[in-house]
Each structure stands twice: as C-alpha cells, then as structure tokens.
Structure 1
Amino acid sequence: MPNPLDVLPVADGIGLPWDVAVDDAVAAIAAAREHCGESFVVNSGGEQYLFTFSPTGVESFYALVEEAASKGVADFLMLRRKLPEEVFAGRRLLPNSLFRRDDVTSYLANLDRALDATEIELGESGTVDLFALTRRLGHRMGLASWAGPGCADGEAFERLVRAFDVLDGSDAFVHPDAMAAVAASGMRAERAALDEVAEVIEASLQQHDSTPENGDQLFSRIVSAWAMESPDVRSRGVAMDVALIHIASMSNLMAALGWALVDLIAHPDQLRLVAGGDRELASSCALESTRLAQRSIMARAVLEPVTFDTGAGVVDVPKGWTIATLLPLLNTSAAAGLEEWNPSRWHRHRLADAHALPSPMLVTAFGHGRHSCPAQPFSLAAMAMAMTRLVGRYDMRPEWTGHPRPVPAQIGGVARAADPCPLGYTVR
C-alpha cells in the first residue's frame, strides 16, 4: 500500500495552533479541506497528520483499534503541553473509573446540592457571567463527588477552584497558542497549583481518616488504592489521583451546559417547556447544543503502521503519524440544515434521521461506538437536571451584545466563549 504522502494532497502553508500562530484553527482546516478535498496531509511542527472527512474515511477512523491508533496517547500528547508529568505518572484510579451506576447516582445528588448552593449565592436577582456560573457549578459538584470531606464548601473549596482554574487541562486545546509560554515557564504556575491541591487534599484526607466514609465512595476508593504507602507518598498520590480525575471530568461538561443555556434562552417555546420540567426535551436540547458547540479534533496517535481507507484509496499510515477528523466541520456540513439549532432532530440519544446522512458517523455530540464518551448518560442527565432547575427558578435575560462566539484558536473539546457573557436573572 502507498504512503499517504505518495497519494494524498498536502495542505501547504497550514499549521496547527500549538505549532504556529493561527487566527481561527477550525477555519484553517476548513480552508485546507476546500482546497485539498476530503482527505489530505498536514505537516505541522515536524509531525504528520492525516485529516479525513469522507464517509468512508470517518468510518475507517472510528474503526481504528486503540492498540494500533490510540485516542489515549493522542489526548496525553496534547494535555502534556499544559500539565506537569506527575499529574499522569503513577495514577491508581483513572477517570474511566468514574461512571459506575452507583457513582452516577451520588454525583447527581451532589449536583442537586450544588444547585442549592448556587441559588443561595445568586440570591433573588443580579447579573452573572453565564460560563463562570456553569464552571463554578461543575467545580462544586465534582469536588463533592471525589475530593473528600470539606472540599466542596468554604475556604477549601475556594482554594481548589483557584488551583483548578490554573490547572485547566483544556487550555492545551482552547488556548494552544499559549502553550509555548507555559513550556517556557517550566509550568511554574501549574506546579504551584498542584502543590495547593495537595495541601487541601491532605487536610481532607486527615478528616477522612478520623471519620471514615462509606468505603464505596470514590474518595474512599482512591484512599484505599494508596493504603500501603508511607504517609507522604499516600497523601501526594491521593491528591494527584483526585487532580487528574477532576481535570479530566468537568470542563467540557460545564461548557456544554453553558451553550445549552445560551441556545435555550434564545428559543422561548422550548425554554417554557424546559422551565416547566420537561427533562426529555432538556436532554435533546443539551445534545443539540453540544453538537453545535463541538470544536473537537478527534485524533488517534499511530503506534504501529495501520492500513487506512480514506474513501479515495487505501494507504499505509506509518507509526508516529496522527489520523484525525474535526467535529465542527462534520457536524454542520454532512446534510442540509445541520447549521441550525433543532433539538427535535434527536430521539433519545440518537439522531432521528441518521439514515439521511451519507454515514451516521458524520454527526455526533459524544462520539460513536467504542469511541463514545463513557460519560454521555451522566452528562446528559446532569445537564438536563441543571437546565430545568435553573430556568425553572430564574427568568434569565441575555445581556451580551452579540451572540457568544467560541475562542477562535480553539481546536478540541466543547467551545469556550471568547468574550464575557453577562446574564441577568430574577427569581420567577
């Protein structure tokens, strides 16, 4: 089989935003697609990327096996631009341990309590930045779920919020243009934030030891995984497990909630029904807003040569390459009308008219098959709960001057808002 460079066009003058300055990362890949066709090569920073957008190419992408073309390695290679190595090394409970059924039940209970605290903080009326509101809500729910006693309230909570805002791993793809400065600093701010997390978690661990929780709670399982270590190693290990879980789990979810509220507020008919408690509609709205808010580069790091069908021919992709597609282009171009917000296009968790697409894999909010996000059921339940609660409690008035827009340089994850999004609210 031929090498991709032998048969596929190369997008000249295109680089990825962690290597070169790019005004709009998604627009740059869209321009390359328009010029080169549905499959092409990008050389950036000395690395080779095969981008594919054809129905066959995208199906081939989702058919790749992790052992040969790894999502986990691709994600790590991106996140390590922002996060110190010790966040990843030696972890004993990983984020994929998060979504047992009993755990999800407790997370939703913690979300309910976090919404109680949010209502107290908001009071009866005022103005708040919408995405700051959802981000803070996510911090409170997550820290109550896996950070141990005392971490979701008071000064411990505020310290952890400040630290995790510095440690936001999504900066690696939201602000890839800033990663050179992070590297040049030796990740000084990030390492200081990790030390802050470790100090707060150490105090929480002491409280846990004096009044042990139910051994099935996630924090207790993390503690048990480090039980045989010396006190210093145990404390640091527990803290780093908590740090990675929190970093990996929360930021995309709460950004998606923010966009769901932006879209819902702009559509009074659906807003009225969700405010009345229609969680099924809220879930469909969440799916639709997440679809439209996607800025994700879906990437697989090639660990051993793979045979890959682009739709225009079969190529052998060498070890060391990355195979990728870009959800914001697929999600809005695979069929007519996809650029519009329409929650009725979803039936439960699936597109109602997927048969109208050249391939059902061309449009997604949470991925497909073995590459689906394991947090999808929880994420939709959490977003639906938060949406019905917030719009049922408050009359919300957008005070932004133009429709919120994503950070232009972002290439990965759910969009983050480029500008402040002030939201006025009054108790109904």
Structure 2
Amino acid sequence: MPAPLDVLPLADGVGLPWDVPVDDAVGVIAAARASCGDSFVVRSGGSEYLFTFSPTGVESFYALPEGVASKGVADYLMLRRKLPDALFAGRRLLPSSLFRRDDVSSYLAHLDHALDATEDELGERGSVELFALTRRLGHRMGLASWAGPGCAEGDAFEELVRAFDVLDGSQAFVHPDAMAAVAASGKRDERTALDDVATVIEDAVRQHDSESQPDDGLFGRIVEAWASEAAEVRRRGIAMDVALIHIASMSNLMAALGWAIVDLLGHPEQLRLVVAGDADLAQRCALESTRLAQRSIMARAVVEPVAFDTGAGVVDVPPGWTIATLLPLLNTSVAPGLEGWEPARWNRHRLAEAGALASPMLVTAFGHGKHSCPAQPFSLSAMTMAMTRLLGGYDMTPLWEDYPCPVPAQIGGVARSAGRCEALYVRR
C-alpha cells in the first residue's frame, strides 16, 4: 500500500525563489537534498512540492501520464507569474503546433535568411554581446516563421523585438525574484507590450488579407483557425496566438546557442573542426553545451491522485501538489567526469556510455521518452547551422576572463549568463 507523504522528510525552512529571496536557487535545493536525501517535501508560498532525485524516482517522474501529472499545467502556472492572463485565454493554435515535419524545413530556411541579416548587421569587425546576438537572431527567425508578412524586417521587427523582450516569459524562471514586482504592478508593462504586439500583428493580418498568394505555413494556419470570427475579434485572436507561440518557442534555444558558442571559443581544436564543416561534431557540441547549461526544474502539476515510487517507497501524491526534479543536480554529478565539457560523450542524440549510469534518465539535454522536448531535432539542426555560419564567418575573441556564470536566482530552462559575454570579431 502507498504511504502518506508525511513519511518523507520535510526540507524545513526551504523556500523557492518566486516566493522568498534566495542567493542561489539551485544551491538551496542541493542543500535540501544533502540534508534530506533523494526524495523530500518542500512547502513554499502556500504550495507543496515533492522533489525526487533517485534513479527510480527520476524514472517514475518521466513515466507520469500527462492526464495525471501535467507538464502543461506546471508550465502555465510558471509562466502566468510573468505573462498577462489574456495571452492564455481562447488560444486556437498552441505552441504544440510548431513542429510539424514540413514546418521545420521552412524554419531552417528562415534561419538561413536571418543569419544573412545578422551578418549584414555585424559588418566587417566590431564587438558583440553573444547572448544578445543569439536572442536577436531567434526573434528574427521566429517572426519570419509565424508572425506574418513584414514582421521580420524594418520598423515592425524592431517594435516586436522591444515588445517581446518585455514579454519574455522565461523571466518567470530566470529572474523569479522579480515576479513579486511584476504582480504588484498588475503586469502593467507586460499588458502594454502585448497591446504593442497586437498592433503590429494586426497590420500583418491586413497585409495578408490583401494578398492573393495563399500562406500554407504556420501563420496561414493561425489565420484560418480564426476565419469564422468578426474582423476585430479575428485580428486580435490571430495576434494572441502568434504572441504565445513566439514567447514559448525561442528563448531557451537561443540561450543554448549562446553557450555553445562560448564553449567552442574555449576549445580551439573543436572550434577548428566545426568551422571546417564537421556537422556531426557541431551537433555533439550543441548537446554537450545544452546539458551543462541546464537549470531546468522539471515539474509536473498533479491533477489526479497518483501513487509515486520514490525509490525508497511508494507514496500517495494528491492533486494540487507538484512533483519535480532539478536537472543541474543530476546532469553533472551522477557519474565521474560529467562536470566537464566533452562532446565525444554523445553518440547521435544519446550518451555513448549511458549504461554506466544507474539510470540513463539521470542525464539529459532535452528530456526523455514522451517527455522529450519536441523541438530537439529542429533545435540541434538550428544550432548546428548557426554555429557553423557565425563561427565560420567570423574570427571571435572572447573578452571574458573567467567562464561565465548563470544567473544565481534562475531555476528553470537553459542558463542565462549573469554577466555580459562580449567578444571581438572580424570577418574571416
């Protein structure tokens, strides 16, 4: 028979960073694990969490059915700390619509054009902040892919970049300590930015309507989903679908690309081979940099009672709880050598020596099984293309002295750098 949750140790006094100030969000959970063991309870901000780190617990976590313990609900509860509720209400095409096979080839074509524009902006030589560079590249590729005509260039693009930088949903887990101020303001800046996005996208809808050429891409499908509505409702609905898809799609990918460039600049031999066109190595570098940069809290919101095997016993978890694990406490510590950057540890999308782990699910870049990120194939292709183009086109010299550190409060997603990562560049 499953046991009640009170058989598990309580991490007394531990709070999560969106509820209480913490100096190091990952360090707080690491200390609780050191004190309590591989499965323990955290009560924070009126919510209750079961954290699990044992091989059996992590395997049980990945086996949870979505209808019982929901990733979608957990993601929504995280993002709504930052984003206006109006963004989530009544959506017809969701981010899950992004990665149809025929769409991915068009996204990569848009990435190719976005890299052309990036090279034009960089010119022959100068200095650049790498994570700002990759974030802008992601905006340009994404907006070209699903935001409608004219949105990836000129004034419309710049207006959307400004608005989406305010509407960056990843701030909910990159700077969870800032969410109290967002709530206190009534999300004033975010609501204004969402209206700014709607204004630009609604103009793109009008342009789309005036053109005779059909759009068979994602934007065309969004437009079609709202075809039966009155004009004003239709335009606003299309704009909100585009906004949610864009917010959900790009930020972690482009942060991972930034770390991959940082890591290659620190490893001249692998850099030389990637620049020479070794696409397989570039993909392995992308996987390795993503693994090391993970700060993800993997969370499932329990919506139906579930018997959960922690590895030390089975416990009953009621609705309203969250079951979670934290990738940075697994990815670098469950076997010797994982703390270092070594692309050779990957064979295609898998660890070459996963059998040496107590469970292959203890280390990941993109998740496991049905909980794998659906964007993984596209993300690796996009990172490979972008690394090869940018590092092949420019000789870059990093200006940082020590390896960049993640934002200390971050608890989720791919790490953002706490400091600026400036590099000098000159066209090869």
- What is the TM-score normalised by the length of structure 2? 0.99
How big is the shift at 1:182? 0.3
Separation (CA, whole Å) in 2 of partners of 1:250 and 1:324: 23
For 2:113 and 2:198, locate their aligned partners in 1 and report how far apart those are by CA, in whole Å: 25
In structure 1, how many angstroms separate the alpha carbons of the residues matched to 2:342 and 2:357? 16
Structure 1 counterpart of 2:148, one-letter code: G
Q: Which runs of 5+ in 2 are unaligned?
A: none
CA contact (8 A) 2:395 2:426 kept: yes
Superposed, 1:69-80 pairs within 5 Å as 69-80=69-80
Paired residues for 1:21-420 under 5 Å: 21-420=21-420
Which letter does structure 2 place at the counterpart of 1:299? A
In 1, Cα distance between the equivalents of 2:255 and 2:4? 36
Q: Which moved more, 1:208-217 or 1:9-18?
A: 208-217
Aligned-partner SS, 2:332 = helix
Instruction: Give the aligned residue type for 1:392.
Output: G
Q: Judging changes above 3 Å, is the alpha-carbon distance between structure 1 residues 215 and 155 closer, same or farther for their aligned structure 2 residues?
A: closer
**CA offset digits 1:67-101 (Å, max 9, x no partner):** 01000000000000000111111001111111111
- Secondary structure at 1:200 match in 2: helix
The Cα shift of 1:388 comes to 0.5
Amino acid at match of 1:283: Q
| Aligned residue number for residue 18 of structure 1 | 18
Q: Distance in 2 between matches of 1:214 and 1:61?
A: 44
Aligned residues: 428
Shift of 1:318: 1.2
The structural deviation recorded for 1:35 is 0.8
Letter of the structure 1 residue corresponding to residue 72 of structure 2: G
Q: Post-superposition shift, 1:401?
A: 3.0
Residue-by-residue CA offset, 1:251-279 (whole Å, 9 max, x unaligned): 00000000000001100010000011111
* Percent of paired sites with the same residue: 78
Structure 1 gap ranges (5+): none
| 1:75 match: secondary structure | helix
C-alpha deviation, 1:334, in angstroms: 1.1
What's the secondary structure of 1:333's corresponding residue? coil
SS of the equivalent of 2:253 reads helix
Equivalent AA in structure 2 for residue 156 of structure 1: A
Answer yes or no: is the 8 Å Cα contact 2:5–2:315 preserved in 1.
no
**Could you tell me how far apart the structure 1 residues matched to 2:408 and 2:64 are?**
29
Q: Within 2, Cα distance between the matches of 1:130 and 1:214?
A: 37
CA distance in 1, matches of 2:85, 2:103: 28
AA of the residue aligned to 2:386: A
CA 213–90 in structure 1, closer or farther in 2 if over 3 Å, else same = farther
Which secondary structure does the structure 1 equivalent of 2:395 belong to?
strand
Q: Deviations over 1:11-63 (max 9, x none)?
A: 11110000000110001000111111111111101111000000000000001
Q: Give, in whole Å, the separation in 2 of the partners of 1:300 and 1:213.
A: 43
Structure-1 separation of matches of 2:149 and 2:24: 43
Query: Does the C-alpha gap of structure 1 residues 213 and 74 become closer, same or farther in structure 2, counting only changes over 3 Å?
Result: farther
- The one-letter amino acid of 1:217's match is G
CA RMSD in angstroms comes to 0.8
CA deviation digits over 1:105-137, x for unaligned, max 9?
000000000000000000010001000000000
Distance 2:146 2:402 in 1: 38
Aligned partners of 2:406 and 2:416 also within 8 Å = yes
* Contact in 1 for aligned 2:5/2:317 (Cα 8 Å): no
Name the SS for the 2:300 alignment partner.
strand
Distance in 1 between residues matched to 2:187 and 2:404, nearest whole Å: 31
Contact 2:2–2:307, Cα closer than 8 Å, also in 1: no
> Where do 4+ consecutive residues of structure 1 move more than 6 Å?
none
Q: Distance in 2 between matches of 1:122 and 1:107?
A: 22
Question: Do the aligned partners of 2:305 and 2:317 also contact (CA within 8 Å) in 1?
Answer: yes
For residue 213 of structure 1, report the CA deviation from its aligned partner: 4.1
Deviation at 1:4, TM superposition (A): 4.7
For 1:70 and 1:3, locate their aligned partners in 2 and report how far apart those are by CA, in whole Å: 22
CA distance in 1, matches of 2:420, 2:179: 22
One-letter amino acid of the structure 2 residue matched with residue 310 of structure 1: T
SS at match of 1:335: coil
Structure 1 residue 212, shift from structure 2 partner = 4.1
- Quick one: distance in 1 between partners of 2:378 and 2:212? 27
Shift of 1:2: 5.0
- The one-letter amino acid of 2:31's match is A
**Superposed displacement of residue 201, structure 1:** 0.5
SS at match of 2:195: helix
Q: Counterpart of 1:332 in 2: which secondary structure?
A: coil
